[in-house]
Amino acid sequence: MSGDEQCEFARSGGARRAAERRTERPEERRRAVLRAADGVRIEAVYEPCAGTRVPGKRDGTDDAGPDAIVLAHGFSGSVDRPALRRAARVFAQYGAVITFSFRGHGRSGGHSTVGDREVLDLAAAVRWARSLGHVRVTTVGFSMGGSVVVRHGALYRPYGAFADARADGEGAPAAHEGRTGARSGTDFSAHADAVVAVSAPARWYYRGTAPMRRLHWVVQRPVGRLVSRYGLRTRIHPHDWDPVPLSPVAAAPALAPTPLLVVHGDQDPYFPLDHPRSLAAAADPAYTELWTVPGFGHAENAAAPALLHRIGDWIGARSRTAPAARHDGSRTTDG
């Protein structure tokens, strides 16, 4: 089967699924305005599959995957920023791609909560992907977006599989998410089938590097938020978190059996290597991989095409080895 034929098969969902779902996937790029669960408007863009690296079918009946990849940008990014568009072009070779602007960014409404309520924005994008007929959805987040995809993966579980997951020894993650309003186990269309966190923080309030100290000044000071609004084009919510949301490292144990890939550069100026190592150590080792990438800096702005292709290959491998929402897991590596 040629690349274009494989992509067409991925878009159609296969004869059996097409007959069941009766949903035709878009053939052209389209923009949309989504609504997060709390009513905030979220701008989003859908890119159809380019068809050059779509993985083959696992058997004669199921569809090819990864089907759809949802990209979550870092703080001060947006759907139209060149780095995110470059990443979208690469990932479109592996499946359809949805990009969006978090609240307070780009043309989306609301104000940034710097990783808290942003899980609702990501859930809206994943839900849109499934509404377009995509059976399998992978979330890929960069920096702040990396923290969001980890927390989203813990809060939105397939088939209500949240069950007895314990995130921090005190209780299930949902108990810590009152401000976010995410409801695990009730919205099965918003879950991810695989999660990739690139340059993500493991914990909140980290000030150990100069860039993070500057970021805290921007977020927590009125003049900093003014600079962010007009200099970074990012509108920040003026109030502190209340309650403090579950941290990524506390959410990570609840992801299994969803595969998790943690990617981090040894030249990251924001978060040193103890962050990705903490995330990987907290997650289930049977379903987690950690890549420490030599020479890589921070997030989408520093991600070279070769690294993005490597991530795309990982996503494709997960699609070939595990049916949607019923994962067999992934091998733990460090490299």
Q: Higher-confidence residue: 32 or 62?
A: 32
pLDDT of 176 strictly over 80:
no
pLDDT class for 72, splitting at 50, 70, 90? very high
pLDDT at 26: 72
The DSSP code sequence of 85-154 is: HHHHHHHTTTSEEEEEPPTTBTT--S-B-TTSTHHHHHHHHHHHHHHTT-S-EEEEEETHHHHHHHHHHH
pLDDT at 319: 76
Q: Higher-confidence residue: 289 or 26?
A: 289
Beta strands 41-47 and 96-100 are: antiparallel
Determine which helix (DSSP H) or strand (DSSP E) holds 30, and give its type and residue range.
strand 30-35
The arithmetic mean of pLDDT across residues 187-207, rounded, is 94
pLDDT of 3 strictly over 80:
no
Give the sign of the dihedral formed by CA 262, CA 268, CA 271, CA 277.
positive
pLDDT class for 24, splitting at 50, 70, 90? low
With beta carbons less than 8 A apart as the criterion, state whether 62 and 14 touch.
Answer: yes
pLDDT class for 52, splitting at 50, 70, 90? low
Q: Higher-confidence residue: 84 or 177?
A: 84
Give the sign of the dihedral formed by CA 303, CA 297, CA 276, CA 149.
negative
Q: Which of 176-185, 280-289, 298-307 has the lowest mean pLDDT?
A: 176-185
The arithmetic mean of pLDDT across residues 121-133, rounded, is 96
pLDDT at 159: 64
Strand, coil or helix: 223: helix
Q: Which of 31-40, 111-120, 167-176, 248-257 has the lowest mean pLDDT?
A: 167-176
Q: Higher-confidence residue: 169 or 265?
A: 265
Q: Higher-confidence residue: 244 or 26?
A: 244
pLDDT class for 318, splitting at 50, 70, 90? confident
The conformation of residue 101, written as its DSSP 8-state character, comes to: P
Q: Higher-confidence residue: 159 or 145?
A: 145
pLDDT of 271 strictly over 50:
yes
d(CA 33, CA 43): 5
pLDDT class for 119, splitting at 50, 70, 90? very high
What percentage of the chain has pLDDT greater than the value 90?
Answer: 69
Q: Which of 152-161, 262-271, 273-282 has the lowest mean pLDDT?
A: 152-161
The arithmetic mean of pLDDT across residues 158-181, rounded, is 44
pLDDT of 167 strictly over 70:
no
pLDDT at 150: 98
pLDDT of 18 strictly over 50:
no
Q: Which of 135, 71, 64, 55 is nearest to 314 (CA)?
A: 55
In one-letter notation, the amino acid at residue 318 is R
Q: Higher-confidence residue: 17 or 315?
A: 315
The DSSP code sequence of 284-308 is: -GGGEEEEEETT--SHHHH--HHHH
With beta carbons less than 8 A apart as the criterion, state whether 70 and 125 touch.
Answer: yes
List all residues 6 or more positions away from 87 whose beta carbon is below 8 Å from its beta carbon.
71, 140, 142, 300, 303, 308
Q: Higher-confidence residue: 325 or 100?
A: 100
Q: Higher-confidence residue: 330 or 17?
A: 17
pLDDT in tens, 87-98: 999 999 999 999
